[in-house]
Amino acid sequence: AVQMTQSPSSLSASVGDRVTITCRASQYIRNDLGWYQQKPGKAPKVLIFAASSLQSGVPSRFSGSGSGTDFTLTISTLQPEDLATYYCLQDYSYPWTFGQGTRVEIK
């Protein structure tokens, strides 16, 4: 199974900051990666698919990049409502696998 290593596990940033989360795959996964946001007590919500495509309705401050094994989720200007845990998910091969998650806190 493809292992997804996500970092950092948590971060604290101020409103307006630029935030970067990374995910590394244990093997080549093309650009078959999505990013999901999970707010406390809620189901996850897709932000980015195919590594860099913004899901409809998601604010443009969210962006994704990368291919092969290294991927990045960037929040260009952190907002208070971005308090959440973020997960990468590879859909290149079964079993699909999530990263361990990054908890984003607001200072």
Partner 1 sequence: QVQLVESGGGVVQPGRSLRLSCAASGFAFNSDAMHWVRQAPGKGLEWVAFISYDGSNKYYADSVKGRFTVSRDDSKNTLYLQMNSLRPEDTAMYYCARQTGNFILDYWGQGTLVTVSS
Binding site for partner 1 (CB under 8 A): 1, 32, 34, 36, 38, 43-46, 49-50, 53, 55, 85, 87, 89, 91, 94-101
C-beta of 41 vs 80, nearer to partner 1: 41
CA distance 63 to 53: 8
C-beta of 16 vs 94, nearer to partner 1: 94
Q: Which residues of 61-92 are buried (b: 16+ CB within 10 A; e: fewer)?
A: ebbbebeebebbbbbeebeeebebbbbbbbee
C-beta of 49 vs 75, nearer to partner 1: 49
